[in-house]
Structure 1
Amino acid sequence: MPTGAKLMAAICLAGLGWIVSNEVRMLLPDQGDFGWFNVVNGVIGAACGWFILGTRAGQGRAGAIANGVTGVFMLVFWAIFVHAGNEMLRLSMRRRFDGPMEALAEMFQTAIEYALILADPLVIGTLAAGAVISGLLTEFTASRFK
């Protein structure tokens, strides 16, 4: 059932995914073509906002902040998972792996490398501020538009 809180959460986390994607692009200047990087992260953010943050709205300010942190954590988790899986598929098409277990092991290694890239203070600060703001805006929307 669509609600104003779900829409607000989707917009907030989609925007946060887009902003953090631009920050990650600045951290990796040697990478030339990012392709659909921002769009994919925006869509993942919108889905996490709609299904995770938006459905939990209406629990007060403390609950809103906790829900915002949960939504942002899941955004980061799924973005890393999707991009590591994409990299694994790209390398698989070049026949770099001998079997599926080696490909999965490489996928998890790539996910760890991507997580270490996100350990930059600017990215962490943006994610933390975005979690609080997204949670509070979603909570405000849930209380205003029932």
Structure 2
Amino acid sequence: MPTSSRLVAAVCLAILAYILSRQIMPQMPEGMNFGNFIYVNMVLGILVGWKVVGSRAGRGATSAINNGLTGVAALVFWGLFVQACYEMVDQAMHDRFDGPFEVLLGILEIGAEFGLILLVPTIILTALVGGALSGLATEFAWRRWR
């Protein structure tokens, strides 16, 4: 059911996904074509905000911060998974994989490589602060517009 807390959480995580995407792009290899990278991550932010963060609002400030951090962790997980799958399909079109098991391992390998790129202090700090603020904004919306 649509609620104000779900809407606020979706908007907050979409904005956070945009900011994080803009921070990640300079960390990637030179000449990489990003295509719809930012838009895909923002859609994931909307979905994670709506389903994960927005549905758990109304449990207090401490739970709100934890809820926001959980939302960011889910956003990072799904972002890595979706982007790794996209990269795997791109590599599969160039006949890099010989079978389905190599494809599954390729997704894990590519996701791990992308995950290492995220281990930059500014990205980690932005994710933590943005997640906490998103959780608090969601809690505020739940209390304000029940």
Per the TM alignment, residue 22 of structure 1 is displaced from its structure 2 partner at its CA by: 0.2
Q: Does 1:95 align with 2:58?
A: no
4+ residue stretches of structure 1 with deviation over 6 A?
A: none
What is the CA RMSD across the aligned residues, in angstroms?
0.9
Q: How does 1:61-100 map to 2 (within 5 A)?
A: 61-100=61-100
Per the TM alignment, residue 98 of structure 1 is displaced from its structure 2 partner at its CA by: 0.7
Aligned to 1:9: 9
Per the TM alignment, residue 31 of structure 1 is displaced from its structure 2 partner at its CA by: 3.0
Aligned to 1:19: 19
Separation in 1, partners of 2:136, 2:63: 9
One-letter code aligned to 2:83? H
Aligned to 2:131: 131
Per the TM alignment, residue 96 of structure 1 is displaced from its structure 2 partner at its CA by: 1.2
Separation in 2, partners of 1:106, 1:28: 18
Structure 2 gap segments, 5+ residues each: none
Structure 1 gap segments, 5+ residues each: none
TM-score of the superposed pair, with normalisation by structure 2: 0.97
Aligned to 2:105: 105
Separation in 1, partners of 2:29, 2:113: 16
Separation in 2, partners of 1:64, 1:128: 13
Q: Does 1:144 align with 2:141?
A: no
Aligned to 1:38: 38
Per the TM alignment, residue 95 of structure 1 is displaced from its structure 2 partner at its CA by: 1.5
Show CA shifts across 1:52-100 (max 9, x none). Answer: 0000000000000010011000000000000001111111111111101
Q: How many residues align?
A: 146
Show CA shifts across 1:7-26 (max 9, x none). Answer: 00000000000100000012
Per the TM alignment, residue 32 of structure 1 is displaced from its structure 2 partner at its CA by: 4.1
Aligned to 1:56: 56
Show CA shifts across 1:24-49 (max 9, x none). Answer: 01222613421100000000001000
- Percent identity of paired positions between Structure 1 and Structure 2: 45
TM-score of the superposed pair, with normalisation by structure 1: 0.97
- Answer with 22-31 or 124-133: which moved more: 22-31
